[in-house]
Amino acid sequence: MITTEKIEFGDFQTPLDLTRDIAAFLRDNGVTPDIIVEPTCGRGHFVRAAIAAFPHVKAVYGFDINPQHVDEAGNMVRNMAGHNSHFECRNFFQIDWATFFAGLGETILLIGNPPWVTNSALGAIGSLNLPEKTNFQGRNGFAAKTGKANFDISEWMLTRLVEALHRHSGCMAMLCKTATARKTLRHAWLNKLNIGRCSLHLIDAQRHFGASVDACLLILHTGMPESNTTACVYPDLSFDGKITTIGLAGKELVADMNEYSRMRDIDGIPYYTWRSGVKHDAVGIMELKRENGHFTNGIHEEYQLETTYLYPLLKSSDIANGRTTPTRYVLVTQRKPSDDTAEVKETAPKTWAYLTAHADALDKRRSIIYRKRPRFSVFGVGDYTFSPWKVAISGLYKNCRFVVVGEQQGKPIVLDDTCCFLPCSSEKEARFICELLNSDICQRFLRSLVFLDAKRPITIDILNRIDLKQVAGHVNRVMDAEKCLSAAARFQEQSIASVR
């Protein structure tokens, strides 16, 4: 049974077989440590496998927050041939890793599998197994408010470990989610840490942990001043059959460095501003279907409502599957974030009564973005929300196709917050921009950037890299593009206000 405690401490021990394969793989590829360190050693499977692979190491250190695990790991290793071993019950977040590594002074192998749990999952169960408050990865208040600040605690742990180890001769070999491995590398590369060769070796997390996540063994070598900012990805614990080379381009990672290099001229100016759809965090209430002359909400209640604030809605699943005729509506209570929703009371009394009848649920919306905002507010609205035409893409699906979205019965179609879009003034403009975005060259560029295994593969940051003028150049449509792009800033003003 999976207990809350197991989740809180990411307590899923690595099977011994896998730890043995990993240790042997490192040994066979020239890793020669003097010291082995397992920062969250659990029951000690990695330590045991590493001692077997590197029988001549001088010392072994294992730490874990769980005292029973530490005892078990310590007893097991003491029964192996005479090693200088140190096992201690310690909280990772309270160890000064830089001082610890400095005291060891020899070639270190950091090996293990830190807990796979996100700070928001910990928040939900009221756990304090977190680092002290820190502006982790430099995320600002806005990112924190919109959920971008959600991170895996292993991401924090790996980042701290590389920072502490990077000036020493060493190797870090850690099991983690592939997204965590990438964030760790990005942090190390951006901060010019002394890391050399790096690679990701995919592992079957379903088979080994019963978890359907994309996971890998991240290997990076430290103490190398000549840092190169790429890492190869392999399908298994070998250096055969390379899948791709990921790397840093500007401040962001790209998924396929070779393809990206061929098309880097498209990485340029975002003439248009990409937008996210409307966020409301109350699907059951704010989204409705029209049936037999009334509206039915997600909790199967029927209401007569004015259509003033109801807009046809498309969601990620619609956009990803090319469905552009909406079958549901969303209540958009504001045209811009500063609008006072009290206006609804005057202009649409039935809608106001409906919102008031569900005030309990709406007032309880947890996201901080609704605090200090008018009651029943939505988020992510501005003139762009109501543009008559849009070119849209789903942020959640692996499908990189764009679709044109128009109006329905004279009302602009609104997208949900899992979609990204460009607002357009006319159908002609939208069709032209969509054609550029779906062109072979642009799709190849996009695929070189996108990590398809990410929770949200397509992001505004990625879309903002597409220089439509350059794309137009590749497909001989520069003149047409110039006309559109010179007018592309018209939905700009409102957006700045909405972010503030």
Binding site for ligand SAM (CB under 6 A): 9-14, 38, 40-42, 45-46, 63-66, 69, 91-93, 112-113, 115, 129
Residue 129 CB, shortest distance to ligand SAM, in Å, is: 5
Smallest distance from the beta carbon of 95 to ligand SAM, in angstroms? 8
**In the 3-class helix/strand/coil scheme, how is 5-69 assigned residue by residue?**
HHHHCCCCCCCHHHHHHHHHHHHHCCCCCCEEEECCCCCCHHHHHHHHHCCCCCEEEEEECCHHH
The C-alpha atoms of residue 55 and residue 467 are separated, in whole angstroms, by: 55
Supply the minimum distance, in Å, between the C-beta of residue 204 and ligand SAM.
Answer: 16
Taking the least distance from each CB to ligand SAM, the nearer of 203 and 348 is 203
Cβ nearer to ligand SAM, comparing 65 with 481: 65
Contact by Cβ (8 Å): 304, 357: no
Nearest distance from C-beta of residue 97 to ligand SAM, angstroms: 12
For residues 90 and 469, which CB has a smaller minimum distance to ligand SAM in the complex? 90
Instruction: Give whichever of 116 and 189 is closer to ligand SAM, judged by the CB atom.
Output: 116
Beta carbon of residue 196, minimum distance to ligand SAM (angstroms, whole number): 24
Q: Decide whether 57 or 485 has the Cβ nearer to ligand SAM.
A: 57
> The sheet that has 294-297: what strands, in order across it?
302-303, 294-297, 287-291, 328-331, 310-314, 414-415
The one-letter amino acid code at 259 reads: E
- The C-alpha atoms of residue 153 and residue 145 are separated, in whole angstroms, by 19
Minimum distance of ligand SAM from residue 347's CB (angstroms) = 53
Nearer to ligand SAM, 218 or 255 (CB): 218
- Looking at the Cβ atoms of 93 and 303, the one nearer to ligand SAM is 93
CB of 2 vs ligand SAM, minimal distance in Å = 13
Strands (DSSP E) found in 369-418: 389-394, 403-405, 407-408, 411-412, 414-415
CA dist 243 and 12 (Å) reads 28
250: left (phi over 0), alpha (psi -120 to 50) or beta: left
Nearer to ligand SAM, 216 or 449 (CB): 216
What whole-number distance in Å separates Cα of residue 386 and Cα of residue 335?
A: 8
Shortest reach from residue 138's CB to ligand SAM, in Å:
23
434 closest CA partner among 375, 393, 467: 393
Each residue of 189-223: b (16+ CB within 10 Å) or e? Answer: bbeebbbeebbbbbbebeebbeeeebbbbbbbbbb
Shortest distance (Å) from residue 123 CB to ligand SAM: 15
Region of 352 please: left (phi>0), alpha (psi -120 to 50) or beta: alpha
Residue 430 φ/ψ, nearest 5 degrees: -60, -40
Tell me how far CA of residue 164 lies from CA of 161, 331, 432, in angstroms: 5, 50, 51
Least CB distance to ligand SAM at residue 99 (A): 17
- What is the C-alpha end-to-end distance of the chain, expressed in Å? 45
Element (H, E) at 86: strand 84-89
Closer CB to ligand SAM, 69 or 477, in the complex: 69
* Residue with Cβ nearer ligand SAM (91 or 338): 91
Task: Find the residue with minimal CB distance to ligand SAM.
Answer: 42
| Burial class of residue 136 in the structure, from the number of CB atoms within 10 Å of its CB (0-12 exposed, 13-18 middle, 19+ buried) | middle
